[in-house]
Structure 1
Amino acid sequence: MSIKIMADSASDLTKNYFTEYDMEMVSLTVHLDDKDYVDGINITPKNVFDAMRKGASPKTSQVSPQTFKNIFTEYAQSKQPLLYLAFSSELSGTYQTAKMMEQEVKEEYPDADITVIDTKCASIGYGLVVLQAAKMAKAGKSKEEIIEEASKQALHMEHIFTVDDLEYLKRGGRVSKTAAFVGSLLNIKPILHVEQGKLIPLEKMRGTKKLLGRMVELMEERGGNFENQVIGISHGDDLERAEKLAEMIKEKFGAKEFLIEYVGSAIGAHAGPGTIALFFLNKSYK
């Protein structure tokens, strides 16, 4: 029986991808204006960013243990292999919850073929890893081959991004209050990256004019072979800048294939409007 790929909504892949590649999706929850919404289902990133511009402070919560238990039990009973590629454990408790439920279900169904992997990736960086796994599954590759390639891609996936206002990351506990205060005071725009699954500030720049150029420079320093990989770009309701960044990359490196999507509702609730994020495989990926 072919393996089923599962991912959560923090991959920032739209429902169309899940349908096209017959993947299982689990959603984080977005709390906005005293209501709970299912990320990727009954709330759009645009809803979240518009609310944040008006002063709202959305919160998020991880996928519930019961959701994982129900899905894992269903796959255990049907004896279909399942590979869940999870959002970075450094940014959400979803991976740990899934691991607990995997163990619980395997106590009842010892032969259940369920594997849970921490990608240490986020947004479209995570989405690119998931899509490659889904394409391999569709092509009939073995579970071992898919796990090996997904793990390798996840390890070598670069995340370089900038946010318009550090205040949003501060509210979510993603950066320190001091960093957020200094940033807003001096109109400093940060460039951050993901290291071992964590958000790490990389550089600070005054104003926004040179930001995209610097992101392209960092891309050149860290990556290569761009014409033979899919470059990911996600944006916080700023398609114009995302497309400008893609054009700069196309001109400089001859990159041909791009995946440009909104930063999803769950990640967007922490990153805020105006976020621009860039994802590619680094030089050490073979």
Structure 2
Amino acid sequence: MGSAVAVVTDSTAYLPAGLAERHGLTVVPLQIAVGGSTRDESDISTAEAARALKEWHPVTTSRPAPERFADAYRSAADSGARGVVSVHLSAAMSGTVEAARAAAEDAPVPVTVIDSGTIGMGLGFAALSAAAAALSGGTAGQVADAASRRAALTRSLICVDTLEHLRRGGRIGAAATLLGSALMVKPLLDIRDGRIAPLEKVRTSSRALARLEELAVAEAGDRRVDLGVQHLAAASRAEPLAARLRERVPDAVDVFVGEVGPVIGAHVGPGMLGVVVAPQL
């Protein structure tokens, strides 16, 4: 293992390829159903999910079964871990934390389950901080604290083309207040108290993109931060946005660009852009 404490997360962390493996993270996949077939999120391409969403086919998601977490915890113990810290997406958005806690009750080693209160790279940065603490020899308490503190510091900013996917998926929360004018605006959202919440509304896609950038730069300030630029079927806008943020946030340490997977994609829809600002501990 390389550490006495193993760190487990879930597939909605959307870490860039190879990053989880390099940091010793175990990733448990959520489930997604497209066209009546339920698969692990890792077994369906984002392009397939985005195509189904664009054609308004039903796409649904579900938490992993507790047995999947039980397998991960047992494997960690078999590999020599004396404890596990399991860091997951917001309990207000998914039953994943609940499933992890159910499995933790019968795990062969102590398991601490952390509700990150967020999703996507917000969760990813928290898991990476936990992994770094574990690899440096931290106790389970120190590893859990690293995840919780990083998650609390992190801000996720989101721009969607339409609120319809969030409404259909039941994840719209307080952003429902924008529905009445949703056809005439491009909503800017963030994650507060574990839920997607309305932030601002602007009139055009270009203005929404500019405002997303402005908010991210302001959030970073003069702190040392990591940035995650995430999108769904919008690479042509995400890559230039990341380049501009690299220039405007001189204290950015790492800037990751990636496409969200189908679980988040099912709820935000094609065209989504997001920026995660994660101050370093």
Same structural fold, with TM-score higher than 0.5 when normalized by the shorter chain: yes
Question: Contact 1:250/1:256 (CA < 8 Å) preserved in 2?
Answer: no
Are 2:4 and 1:2 equivalent residues in the alignment?
yes
Structure 1 residue 277: deviation in Å? Answer: 0.7
Tell me the distance in 2 between the aligned counterparts of 1:20 and 1:237: 27
Are 2:272 and 1:271 equivalent residues in the alignment?
no
Are 2:23 and 1:21 equivalent residues in the alignment?
yes
Question: Contact 1:76/1:113 (CA < 8 Å) preserved in 2?
Answer: no
Q: Percent identity?
A: 27
Q: 1:87 maps to what in 2?
A: 89
CA RMSD of aligned residues (A): 2.2
- Unpaired runs of 5+ in structure 2? none
Which residues in structure 2 correspond to 1:118-197 (within 5 Å)? 118-175=115-172, 179-180=178-179, 182-184=181-183, 186=184, 188-197=185-194
Deviations 1:7-52 (A, max 9, x none): 0011112552222222211111010011112112x11112111221
Give TM-score, length-normalised by structure 2: 0.89
- Unpaired runs of 5+ in structure 1? none
Question: Contact 2:159/2:274 (CA < 8 Å) preserved in 1?
Answer: yes
Structure 1 residue 130: deviation in Å? Answer: 1.2
Structure 1 residue 144: deviation in Å? Answer: 3.0
Give TM-score, length-normalised by structure 1: 0.88
Give 2:206's aligned amino acid. Answer: K
Task: Go from structure 1 to structure 2 and tell me whether the alpha carbon gap of 1:78 and 1:22 turns closer, same or farther (over 3 Å shift).
Answer: closer
Question: Contact 1:79/1:113 (CA < 8 Å) preserved in 2?
Answer: no
Give 2:7's aligned amino acid. Answer: I
Are 2:96 and 1:97 equivalent residues in the alignment?
no
Question: Contact 2:156/2:191 (CA < 8 Å) preserved in 1?
Answer: yes
Tell me the distance in 2 between the aligned counterparts of 1:114 and 1:224: 36
Tell me the distance in 1 between the aligned counterparts of 2:101 and 2:139: 22
Are 2:257 and 1:260 equivalent residues in the alignment?
yes
Deviations 1:120-177 (A, max 9, x none): 1101111111122223333333333322222111011101001112111110012276
Q: 2:206 maps to what in 1?
A: 209
Q: 1:64 maps to what in 2?
A: 65
Q: Secondary structure at the match of 2:18?
A: helix
Task: Go from structure 1 to structure 2 and tell me whether the alpha carbon gap of 1:204 and 1:277 turns closer, same or farther (over 3 Å shift).
Answer: same
Q: In the comparison of the two structures, how many residue pairs are matched? A: 275
Structure 1 residue 76: deviation in Å? Answer: 5.1
